[in-house]
């Protein structure tokens, strides 16, 4: 299909073997050639020579609660997801169907997923306290981008990332295409029970992102096997409550940044910058007054099981179905009372889909467990080994929720294999 170039942003329609690139991204703005950043080795594939230029607006200084042992990591994490969110918003705003690949597991990945991962890795390397080894467990890798036919999408990612860095002005790094591939593969760590590991879902809810709905940039820090810090950038989540309004509310500022550090509580602030507000889960103690969140995608959670659980609990309100870990953020600030997630048989949950969201909820006073009431264990590498599914709610409702979950699972299993 021929490319149609329109001004600075060209809309190219190309088909190739492993993906369809429908839209190229804004070309790098020639007005702001980046300048060398002293801390990156000259030999790094990231850096190329360029004249210095005036320092434009930096991303806002991230706030950090006093007495927080992970204050520096929290500030770095907030800056990282805020920069990544800018990249994602610039793509989603005029997304037709961005350069979309489908991975071997058939799930979608876009130029924004890759770009977000690269920027988070860059900011963490530049801002987080130096540690003897940088370990990032992230969802995406460069395999599909190294295949024949991926040149165009790689070019788009490179332009998108360099454009975002130049616009932000915090760093003068100019990624080469090889540097882009290397940076994506920074996320190959297997994590594990010892040491510190960053855990990143560069876009959680890619399907929601492609639909123009909810998505989140989810970043957590695991220290000696425990999640100690989590941030969730939710660019499309209203700053006000989404309550039972089926996932949206009118008139509110949009763009929420949730954050939590172990023992320091959970907060929310606007993605554009505002004083952080402490948040807490709702105090509903009668399930009749409760509402519950679940995946928008029926493929991601057994809706027959979740509705049976809700019925046993006596929940009257219909489920609020939204994409991504934005559900954890909404629960943590009390927009709803319960989150239910029961993947279909055979699916293994990844740690990046839950690490950040779970600490935001627990530090907001909530409880997050598997169907047997066990805490989630993030120390076992890239996957969560858990019983059946994930439930999250406040302390008051957890006992009756667990009971309803176990009864509903028992009934479902009996119906599936009658004696």
Ligand X SMILES: Nc1ncnc2c1ncn2[C@@H]1O[C@H](COP(=O)(O)O)[C@@H](OP(=O)(O)O)[C@H]1O
Contact between 320 and 291 (Cβ < 8 Å) = yes
Helix (H/G/I), strand (E/B), else coil: 158: helix
Nearest to 366 by CA among 333, 413, 324: 333
Q: Applying CB under 6 A, does 295 fall inside the site for ligand X?
A: yes
Torsion of CA 209, 258, 142, 348, to 10 degrees: -80
Sign of the Cα pseudo-torsion (300, 305, 308, 313, in order) = negative
Give the C-alpha separation, 223 to 395, whole Å: 25
Q: Applying CB under 5 A, does 204 fall inside the site for Mg ion?
A: yes
Q: Applying CB under 6 A, does 370 fall inside the site for ligand X?
A: no
Across 71-195, where does the E strand assignment appear?
Answer: 100-102, 108-110, 136-138
Q: Applying CB under 6 A, does 297 fall inside the site for ligand X?
A: yes
Q: Applying CB under 5 A, does 141 fall inside the site for Mg ion?
A: no
Give the C-alpha separation, 266 to 246, whole Å: 24
Nearest approach, Cβ of residue 40 and ligand X (Å): 29
Q: Which is nearer to Mg ion, 86 or 327 (CB)?
A: 327
Give the C-alpha separation, 356 to 222, whole Å: 10
Q: Which is nearer to ligand X, 15 or 299 (CB)?
A: 299
- Number of Cβ within 10 Å of residue 50's Cβ equals 15
Q: Which is nearer to ligand X, 173 or 386 (CB)?
A: 386
Contact between 191 and 199 (Cβ < 8 Å) = yes
Scanning 33-41, 272-280, 291-299, 385-393 for contacts with ligand X by CB under 6 A, the matching segment is 291-299
Q: Applying CB under 6 A, does 201 fall inside the site for ligand X?
A: yes
The CB-nearest residue to ligand X is 295
- Number of Cβ within 10 Å of residue 364's Cβ equals 25
Which among ligand X, Mg ion, none contacts residue 247 (Cβ within 5 to 8 A by kind)? none
**Residue from 298, 299, 387, 407 in contact with ligand X (CB under 6 A):** 299
**Residue from 205, 235, 276, 334 in contact with ligand X (CB under 6 A):** 205
Residue numbers 257-276 binding ligand X by CB under 6 A: none
End-to-end Cα spacing for the chain: 58
Scanning 16-24, 121-129, 199-207, 383-391 for contacts with ligand X by CB under 6 A, the matching segment is 199-207
Q: Applying CB under 6 A, does 343 fall inside the site for ligand X?
A: yes
Which among Mg ion, ligand X, none contacts residue 179 (Cβ within 5 to 8 A by kind)? none
By residue count, the chain amounts to 419
The 148-187 contact track toward ligand X, x by CB under 6 A, reads ----------------------------------------
Q: Which is nearer to ligand X, 28 or 184 (CB)?
A: 184
DSSP 28: P
Q: Applying CB under 5 A, does 201 fall inside the site for Mg ion?
A: yes
Q: Give me the active site residues, please.
A: 113, 206
Kindly tell me the burial class for residue 190, based on how many C-beta atoms sit within 10 Å of its own C-beta (0-12, 13-18, 19 or more): exposed
**Residue from 204, 213, 267, 335 in contact with ligand X (CB under 6 A):** 204
Which residues make up the interface to Mg ion (CB under 5 A)? 107, 139, 201, 203-204, 353
Binding-site ranges for ligand X (CB under 6 A): 107, 139, 201, 203-206, 208, 295, 297, 299-300, 323-324, 343-344, 347, 350, 353
């Amino acid at each position: 299909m021929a490319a149609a170039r329109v001004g600075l942003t060209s809309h190219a329609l190309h088909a190739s073997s492993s993906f369809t690139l429908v839209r190229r991204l804004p070309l790098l703005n020639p007005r702001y050639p980046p300048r060398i950043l002293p801390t990156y080795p000259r030999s790094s594939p990231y850096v190329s020579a360029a004249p210095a230029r005036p320092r434009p607006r930096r991303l806002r200084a991230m706030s950090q609660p006093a007495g927080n042992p992970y204050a520096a990591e929290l500030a770095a994490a907030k800056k990282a997801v805020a920069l990544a969110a800018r990249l994602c918003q610039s793509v989603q705003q005029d997304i037709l169907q961005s350069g979309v690949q489908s991975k071997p597991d058939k799930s979608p990945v876009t130029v924004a997923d890759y770009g977000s991962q690269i920027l988070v890795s860059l900011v963490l390397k530049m801002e987080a306290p130096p540690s003897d080894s940088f370990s990032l467990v992230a969802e995406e890798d460069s395999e599909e981008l190294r295949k024949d036919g991926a040149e165009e999408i790689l070019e788009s990612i490179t332009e998108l990332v360099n454009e975002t860095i130049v616009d932000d002005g915090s760093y003068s790094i100019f990624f080469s295409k090889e540097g882009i591939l290397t940076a994506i593969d920074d996320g190959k760590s297997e994590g594990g029970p010892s040491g510190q590991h960053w855990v990143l879902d560069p876009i959680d809810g890619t399907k929601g992102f492609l639909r123009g709905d909810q998505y989140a940039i989810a970043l957590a820090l695991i220290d000696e096997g425990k999640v100690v810090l989590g941030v969730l950038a939710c660019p499309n989540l209203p700053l006000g409550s989404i309550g039972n309004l089926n996932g949206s509310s009118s008139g509110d500022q949009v763009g929420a940044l949730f954050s939590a550090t172990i023992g320091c509580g959970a907060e929310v602030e606007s993605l554009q910058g505002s004083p952080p507000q402490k948040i807490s889960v709702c105090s509903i103690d009668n399930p009749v007054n409760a509402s519950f969140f679940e995946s928008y995608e029926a493929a991601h959670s057994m809706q027959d099981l979740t509705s049976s659980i809700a019925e046993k609990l006596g929940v009257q309100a219909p489920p609020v179905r939204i994409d991504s870990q934005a559900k954890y953020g909404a629960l943590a600030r009390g927009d709803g009372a319960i989150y239910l997630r029961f993947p279909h048989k055979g699916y293994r949950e990844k740690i990046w889909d839950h690490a950040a969201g779970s600490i935001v909820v627990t530090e907001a006073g909530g409880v997050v467990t598997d169907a047997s009431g066990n805490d989630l264990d993030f120390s076992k590498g890239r996957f969560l080994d858990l019983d059946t599914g994930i439930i999250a709610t406040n302390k008051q409702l957890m006992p009756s929720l667990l009971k309803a979950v176990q009864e509903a699972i028992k009934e479902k299993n009996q119906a599936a294999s009658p004696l």
